[in-house]
Chain A
Amino acid sequence: MIRPMTLFCLTLAALLSFGLFKVKHKVQVLEEELTQLHHAILTDQKAIHVLNAEWSYLNRPRHLQKLNLKFLGFTPFSAERITTIEELPMRHDLASSQQTTSDNKSLEQSLTSPPSHDVRQAMLTGDASEKDASPASLAINTGGTP
């Protein structure tokens, strides 16, 4: 005769051991996956490490200079070609249009647009009076490249 309490305990034990097996199996699978991932990370780290060294090697200043002379021809620029934004002459018609138009939208636009936009526009459509400014703005463009 099996008492209900024993039956309950046996069922519980069976359920628990099954559950434990499931969890353990899942953990094993996950652990395997984790080990693989760690391995992959380590491999990647090694690769990144080698690539870093290569990046530094390829970026030797002398090497870059050689490439520059071959393809770009940039030369060190002199101090006269560096100036501040404030010292650049404003474009005349742009300045006058800003004064005459009372349209809120255009004023907002001109305020939100970055100053470099104005400078570039002035450079592109510059008239004779802005000719002296062009080498300076050119220096801003090429100034970023070492």
Chain B
Amino acid sequence: MIRQNPPSYTKGCQALDGTAKQALDTARNRLLMTGALFLIAFAVIGARLIDLTMMRDGHEPRLAQAAGLGILKKERADIIDRRGVLLATSLATSSLYANSRRILDAEEAVEKLKSVLPDLDEKMTRTRLTSGHSFVWIYRHLTPRQKYAVNCLGIPGLYFQHEESRVYPHGNLAAHVLGFSGIDHHGLAGIERSLNDELRESSDPLKLTLDIRVQSILHQELSRAREEYQAIGGTGMVMDAHNGEVLALVSLPDFDPNNPVNINDEASFNRATLGVYEMGSTFKIFTAAMALESGTVDLDGGYDATEPIQIGRFTIRDHYPKRRWLTVPEILIYSSNIGAAKMASDVGTANQRAFLHKLGMLSPAAIELPEVGAPLVPSPWRKINTMTVAYGHGLAVSPIQLTTGIATMINGGLFYPATLLPRVKRETGTIERAPEKGEPGSHVLSPDTSEQIRRLMRLVVVEGTGKRAAVNGYLVGGKTGTAEKSARGGYSAKALLSSFVSAFPMTAPRYVVFVMLDEPKGTEETFGHATGGWVAAPVARRIIARTAPMLGIPPVDENTPEIQSEMMVNITPRGPSLASF
């Protein structure tokens, strides 16, 4: 590492001898090296300084964010309806606990607490306060007023713990849809349970398809009818016919999710999705659609309903027998079991089964609720089953399945599984989750058949058993259903399931309305009748009359020739043309 000395140096250092000169040279060289190293180090530090101070890149967090602007952290996300109305939220509350070692006089403390918390369990509190533990709960979830009152008592040894409690501002209004969550913020029923993870993870509100206004009207009208006809229960729903979105879903009796402790089994049972019932005559719509679609009969065709059908040990008869040949429209108007059974047996068992499968009648509904009932499907599916299923007996489905099926019948033949989550992304900032099960929009019917079914359903309201559902201006169509509930070893004529399924406006249906009452009793007003046409159809009428303006359905003049011709069905019996053979 010894360099050749420059000539200028050697000139001025003549006196130095070889060794001294060499030592000096080495020192100078080392100094130079060190200096160079320091220079490089300073240069690096300088460059880094410039880089940090002047050429700051995006990696460094901005000050405003670094300081931690807190979005309010909640244990569970809010739930809102389709218009943004708050349905469920978590609110901070205070819970009272005590350090029992610091309690001076347990007896006095209990007495004082009882004066501000009237529903305090005295005995339990006394044992807890004298237990000697340093942490014992006294009272959970105090209201701000109660907290203030407890503070005013000035008892030493009492403390507050911040907690969150789930609050449902609308109480029991959407109880069966929302469900409820437990004290540890875990969903235990309804949407709270099925979307528990989403609700816990997200801070954005979860948007449902419910419309709280429609829900309220449905709840009110159904409650009124249930009271009037002393039904043991009832259920109803409003569904968008074009995408399966559920706008309202009510099951009675219901419960207050704010008070999950007091819920009994009867109230928590969701009749709309968990209950499966033999729906009765509303199924005749499916039978008619199936027959028209397969081409075994057309709207002018018909069947002989003179005699009851005897098959095996069963007899299929009509409730209001006409004892003559009936056209397809007449079979629906008069709700003829014989006609429907013959129609179905012409189509055949295999076809019927395939058709009902496509309609989602043979598998549990796809709705996003944990409480979903599996349909009771006849096994084996014999000819007799084909005939009874044609008029809604022998196959038990949940009301939501039926409503979804009816929506398919009238919307042009597209099957959309029922859903509580909006299908279309409407707004950002809400949890959006596409419905999982089922294939949205799969074809079941041709648009032509769907159009014929619309006419037939309109006809039932204009001419048939559904007259009490008519709302002037909204072209209501529908079908009544009255099923006898199966009792031990047969059917009970006293216990009925009276339902009405309707849609409006029938020229271009937008919404399906389903109403069902469980064991209604006839009143003087209904002349003792408790059938679907008498008790359920008026409920549907009131619901439609109140919701249609709200949902922005423009009323039409039902008597204009265009609409008359659009809804026209030829019902005049052609006579027993078969007899001419």
Q: Which residues of A contact B (CB under 8 A)?
A: 31, 34-35, 38, 41-42, 45-46, 49-50, 52-57, 59-62, 76-80, 82, 84, 143, 146
Contacts and interface: CB of A to CB of B under 8 A. Distances in A.
Interface residues of B, number: 35
A94 B373 CA distance: 65
Contacts of A31: 63, 67
B68 to A, nearest CB: 7
Given A53-B169, A57-B169, A82 B89 contact: no
B173 A34 contact: no
Nearest to B474: A79
Which 6 pairs between the two chains have the least Cβ-Cβ distance?
A79-B473, A79-B555, A61-B216, A56-B86, A57-B169, A56-B169
A51 to B, nearest CB: 11
Interface string B208-245: 00001100110010000000000000000000000000
B72 A45 contact: yes
Given A46-B92, A62-B216, A78-B472, A52 B86 contact: yes
Given A56-B169, A59-B85, A76-B546, 16 more contacts: A38-B68, A45-B71, A46-B92, A49-B89, A60-B169, A60-B170, A60-B173, A61-B173, A62-B220, A76-B549, A77-B549, A79-B549, A82-B473, A84-B554, A143-B549, A146-B213
Contact of A52 (B70, B89, B216): B89
Contacts of B169: 53-54, 56-57, 60
B554 A34 contact: no
Contacts of A52: 86, 89
B545 interface: yes
Contacts of B23: none
21 contacts: A31-B67, A34-B64, A38-B68, A42-B70, A45-B71, A45-B72, A46-B72, A52-B89, A53-B86, A56-B87, A60-B170, A76-B546, A76-B549, A77-B549, A79-B472, A79-B545, A79-B548, A80-B473, A82-B549, A82-B555, A84-B554
Interface in B343-384: none
Contacts of B71: 45
B536 interface: no
B545 A78 contact: yes
A43 to B, nearest CB: 10
A49 B472 contact: no
A34 B67 CA distance: 8
Contacts, number: 79
Contacts of A50: 91
Contacts of A77: 549
B578 interface: no
B132 interface: no
A31 B63 CA distance: 9
A54 B92 CA distance: 13
B72 A49 contact: yes
A84 to B, nearest CB: 8
Contacts of B171: 60
A31 B92 CA distance: 28
Contact of A41 (B69, B91, B548, B555): B69
Contacts of A55: 86
Nearest to A84: B554
B15 interface: no
Nearest to B89: A53
A12 B217 CA distance: 79
B550 interface: yes
Contacts of B86: 52-53, 55-56
A38 B170 contact: no
Contacts of A46: 72, 92
A14 B208 CA distance: 65
B112 to A, nearest CB: 28
Nearest to B553: A79
B117 interface: no
B496 interface: no
B471 interface: yes
A50 B212 CA distance: 20
Contacts of A80: 472-473, 555
Given A49-B89, A56-B85, A38 B70 contact: yes
Contacts of B473: 78-80, 82
Nearest to A49: B72
